[in-house]
Structure 1
Amino acid sequence: MTSRYAGRVALVTGAASGIGAATVRRLLDEGARVAALDLRPVEEGPDLLALEGDVRDEAQVAAAVARAAEWGGRLDLLANVAGVASYQHTTDVTLAEWERIVGVNLTGPFLVCRAALPHLVAAGGAIVNVASLAGVRGWRYSAAYSAAKGGVVALTRSLAVEYAPHGVRVACVCPGSVDTPLRDGLVPVANPHPKLAERGGALLDPPVADPAEVAAAIAYLGAAEARFATGAILRLDGGAGA
């Protein structure tokens, strides 16, 4: 595998499982030193720093980013992967659930980006945010999740414009269904409308992506060869939006 991240330092959120864990493995394989942030502990290694924290907590985020930059001596890539989801009829969504979904999926990436940007400017680095197909098209029974992920798409575009003059690239991936614990934990809504039951499925077989496929896209968008992809919103949906 290529060593395009040799000498580079990355910070990955949501690093304990799913797309986050696959991204950590991919970046390590490509020569990066990786700081892995999650609520759950991650096993440390020679080039892997385990950080525990909640991306919704401003103080915890600031401390984690500072520790990552201190450990690595620089910060070249931020991969915002942490996320949560649920399926609910909109009239059943409580304010607490709205705040949980938006907090992890949108406020979290904002806080981590804000804390990491001075380090990324110094290194001429990159941010890759993980949104969702639900952030770029209508998605059934996912008002809070779709709103949050749509916000991540807009945040990506705004940061790409603002920080291009400072040498920082910002891009976003929008996966469809991915084989992760997040997907396994989703509970279907009761009494779904029959017209919505199969809406938006992938055209490929199997219709669910492997986390490693998303990690490969993150690694590309975060690398120097993707210089002209700043502001890009890359859909990884198996043709669902074609």
Structure 2
Amino acid sequence: MRYAGRVALVTGAGSGIGLATALRLAGDGALVACLDIRPGITGDRLGGAALDLEVDVTDEAAVRTAVEETVSWAGRLDLVVNAAGVASFAHTTDVEWREWQRVLEVNLTGPFLVTREALPHLVESKGAVVNVASLAGVRGWRYSAAYSASKGGLVALTRSLAVEYAKAGVRFACVCPGSVDTPLRQAIEPVPDADPDLLTHGRALVDPPVADPEEIAAAIAFLGSKEARFATGAVLRMDGGAGA
């Protein structure tokens, strides 16, 4: 019960890593505000320990309202987990401007907006932020110009804020998963005319080579806890040895 008496806000809590994280934190005693563009999925499974909020993380006003509602509901805020995200894989010459903009807005601007609104409350509670980046954000990745740029930016944002807010007592860390069994992964369309050699690039070395969302959630729960005091600025790869 490492989160007893603490309050977490999780974006993308309706599925995948976000859902697994919300369930893990609640199981560890937290009250969890579950933000998702499709509300109601997580709260039904957590009962009174959860607040379901319909939020588009790229909507500045909606994010501000969601943070205010969370603090009004629970009285404080101790942890933010930015797990909402979208994927995009294509030949770079096929990436349209609107798609580039969509990926950057959800994967990078969204975490920035949520974190910015939460920071006054996290300073008060000496809390933490854990961002969900990707292996694609720390090494070269095939057919992922927009996605890699967004996740690499999220890694840099995490490190920058870790430095800026260290003296204020707010910790920042991020996890960089490789392949994870989520609806996001299952919905990825094959890239036409892909180079077979590139498709084997970055495969996990463990068996099975795809992680369960719960494995990533366990790492998030640690990084967001008081036990990870000395891990501020940490970038934890959860890639099954793919980036080794």
Confirm or deny a common fold (TM above 0.5): yes
Match of 2:31 in 1: 33
Percent identity of paired positions between Structure 1 and Structure 2: 70
Match of 1:60 in 2: 62
Name the aligned partner's letter for residue 13 of structure 1: T
3-state SS of 1:46 partner: helix
1:133 aligns with 2:131: no
State which drifts further: 193-202 or 167-176: 193-202
**1:73 pairs with 75, 79, 99, which one?**
75
Separation (CA, whole Å) in 1 of partners of 2:156 and 2:39: 31
Separation (CA, whole Å) in 2 of partners of 1:54 and 1:31: 27
Separation (CA, whole Å) in 1 of partners of 2:186 and 2:196: 22
Separation (CA, whole Å) in 1 of partners of 2:211 and 2:18: 14
Deviation at 1:89, TM superposition (A): 0.3
Deviation at 1:188, TM superposition (A): 1.1
Query: Within 5 A, what are the aligned runs for 1:73-152?
Result: 73-152=75-154
Match of 1:47 in 2: 49
Name the aligned partner's letter for residue 34 of structure 1: V
Deviation at 1:86, TM superposition (A): 1.7
Match of 1:187 in 2: 189
Separation (CA, whole Å) in 2 of partners of 1:112 and 1:172: 15
Deviation at 1:69, TM superposition (A): 1.1
3-state SS of 2:159 partner: helix
1:174-214: CA deviation from partner (whole Å, max 9, x where unpaired): 00000000000100111112321211100011100000000
Match of 2:223 in 1: 221
Structure 2 spans left out of the alignment, 5+ residues = none
Separation (CA, whole Å) in 2 of partners of 1:74 and 1:194: 50
Separation (CA, whole Å) in 2 of partners of 1:241 and 1:42: 36
Separation (CA, whole Å) in 1 of partners of 2:128 and 2:95: 35
Deviation at 1:42, TM superposition (A): 2.2
3-state SS of 1:137 partner: coil
1:12 aligns with 2:14: no
Query: Within 5 A, what are the aligned runs for 1:197-236?
Result: 197-236=199-238
Say how many residue pairs are matched. Answer: 240
Separation (CA, whole Å) in 2 of partners of 1:194 and 1:63: 46
1:77-105: CA deviation from partner (whole Å, max 9, x where unpaired): 00000000021000000000001110100
Runs of 4+ aligned structure 1 residues displaced above 2 Å come to none
Structure 1 spans left out of the alignment, 5+ residues = none
1:131-169: CA deviation from partner (whole Å, max 9, x where unpaired): 000000000000000000000000000000000010000
TM-score norm. by structure 2 comes to: 0.97
1:19-58: CA deviation from partner (whole Å, max 9, x where unpaired): 0000000000000000000000124321100010100010
State which drifts further: 187-196 or 139-148: 187-196
Separation (CA, whole Å) in 1 of partners of 2:33 and 2:75: 12
Separation (CA, whole Å) in 2 of partners of 1:103 and 1:231: 23
Q: CA RMSD in A?
A: 0.6
Separation (CA, whole Å) in 1 of partners of 2:196 and 2:135: 21
3-state SS of 2:192 partner: coil
**Structure 1 contact 15–42 (Cα < 8 Å) conserved:** no
